[in-house]
């Protein structure tokens, strides 16, 4: 799983570390530890643009409220955040990168991210989400990378991505998805990677619409997609569905 994450971590890591060092070298003296234990790093114009609140001790159980609203990059990975509410995030209008990997998020209020119209990378792998709806992703018009691997997602509603036309990369691997509607990803014209491995797909003929989409998707991801049910089924054998 970490291997699959690597390509993204690398490409955005390079960009971010380049940015980080160009700013950090000049403003090294501004780095300081502020109450609440996040590292707040200032950029050129004296704005705080990066907040590192990863692995806080004690872990954050909600989005901390003392962080400057100017941040572009917020790292809250490896805490114990349980839910995401609009009121906790709406101040961060310039947020572009948000890392919420390895928390305990099981609830996201409808429209929780709708003030993050600049968000490009949302990392929420290794949480406890059960379903992905239009409400979760509402207003994320610039989103390009969505990481939701290793959650408990059973339901992805067909309209989940309607407000995110710029998505290029989706990771839904290691969830509990049995069914997907054929129209789920069809509006995403920029999609290049869609990871769905290690989901217990139910390859009844109801999955046919999705399988048809997958068969014409340029970056085929079904190599590692397997059918858990019905017994003996496979994506390949689903061709027989087309006879009826």
Ligand X SMILES: *[C@@H]1O[C@H](CO)[C@@H](O)[C@H](O)[C@H]1NC(C)=O
Nearest CB to ligand X, comparing residues 18 and 34: 34
Q: Which residues of 158-181 are buried (b: 16+ CB within 10 A; e: fewer)?
A: bebbebbeebebbbbbbbebbbbb
Q: Judged by CB, which is closer to ligand X: 140, or 156? A: 156
Residue 184 CB, shortest distance to ligand X, in Å, is: 14
Contact between 155 and ligand X by CB under 6 A: the answer reads yes
CB-based contact 27:42 (threshold 8 Å): yes
CB 195 within 8 A of CB 168: no
According to CB under 6 A, which one of 83, 96, 159, 204 is a site residue for ligand X?
Answer: 204
Q: Assign 3-class secondary structure to 66-122.
A: CCCCCCCEEECCCCCCCEECHHHHCCCCCCCEEECCCCCCCEECCCCCCCCCCCCEE
Residue 4 binding ligand X, by CB under 6 A? no
**Residue from 77, 116, 127, 175 that binds ligand X (CB under 6 A)?**
77
> Does the footprint of ligand X cover residue 10 (CB under 6 A)?
no
Residue nearest to ligand X according to CB distances in the complex? 77
If one asks whether residue 221 binds ligand X (CB under 6 A), the answer comes out as: no
Helix (H) or strand (E) holding 18: helix 2-27
To the nearest whole angstrom, how small is the minimum distance from the Cβ of residue 50 to ligand X? 10
Phi, psi (deg, nearest 5) at residue 89: -115, -15
Q: Which is nearer to ligand X, 15 or 239 (CB)?
A: 15
Cα–Cα separations (whole angstroms), residue 110 to 17, 86, 121, 133: 33, 8, 19, 9
Residue 67 contacts by C-beta under 8 Å, 6 or more apart in sequence?
Answer: 36, 38, 40, 48, 51, 53, 74, 92
Give the Cα separation of 216 and 30 in Å (integer). 51
Token pair of 5, please?
Answer: 């994450």
120 near ligand X (CB under 6 A): no
Which position among 84, 102, 163, 174 is part of the footprint of ligand X (CB under 6 A)?
102
User: In angstroms, what is the minimal distance from the CB of 191 to ligand X?
Assistant: 8
Q: Which is nearer to ligand X, 58 or 218 (CB)?
A: 218
Among 11, 130, 220, 239, which residue interacts with ligand X (rule: CB under 6 A)?
130
Contact footprint for ligand X (CB under 6 A): 9, 12, 34, 40, 42, 46, 48, 66, 68-70, 75, 77-78, 93-94, 99, 101-102, 123, 130-131, 133, 155, 157, 178, 192-193, 202, 204, 206, 218-219, 229
């Amino acid at each position: 799983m970490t291997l699959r994450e690597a390509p993204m971590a690398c490409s955005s890591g390079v960009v971010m570390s380049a940015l980080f060092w160009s700013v950090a070298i000049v403003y090294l003296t501004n780095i300081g530890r502020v109450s609440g234990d996040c590292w707040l790093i200032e950029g050129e114009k004296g704005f705080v643009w990066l907040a590192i609140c990863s692995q806080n001790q004690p872990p954050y159980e909600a989005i901390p409220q003392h962080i400057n609203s100017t941040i572009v990059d917020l790292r809250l990975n490896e805490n114990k955040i349980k839910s995401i509410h609009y009121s906790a995030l709406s101040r961060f209008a310039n947020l572009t990168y948000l890392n919420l990997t390895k928390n305990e998020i099981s609830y996201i209020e409808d429209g929780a991210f709708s003030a993050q119209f600049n968000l490009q990378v949302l990392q929420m792998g290794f949480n406890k989400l059960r379903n992905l709806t239009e409400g979760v992703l509402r207003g994320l018009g610039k989103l390009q990378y969505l990481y939701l691997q290793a959650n408990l997602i059973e339901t992805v509603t067909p309209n989940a991505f309607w407000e995110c036309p710029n998505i290029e990369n989706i990771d839904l691997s290691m969830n509990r998805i049995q069914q997907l509607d054929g129209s789920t990803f069809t509006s995403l014209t920029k999609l290049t990677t869609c990871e769905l491995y290690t989901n217990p797909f139910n390859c009844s003929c109801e999955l046919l619409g999705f399988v048809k989409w997958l068969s014409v998707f340029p970056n085929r991801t079904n190599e590692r997609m397997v059918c858990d049910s019905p017994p003996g089924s496979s994506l390949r054998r689903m061709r027989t569905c087309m006879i009826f």
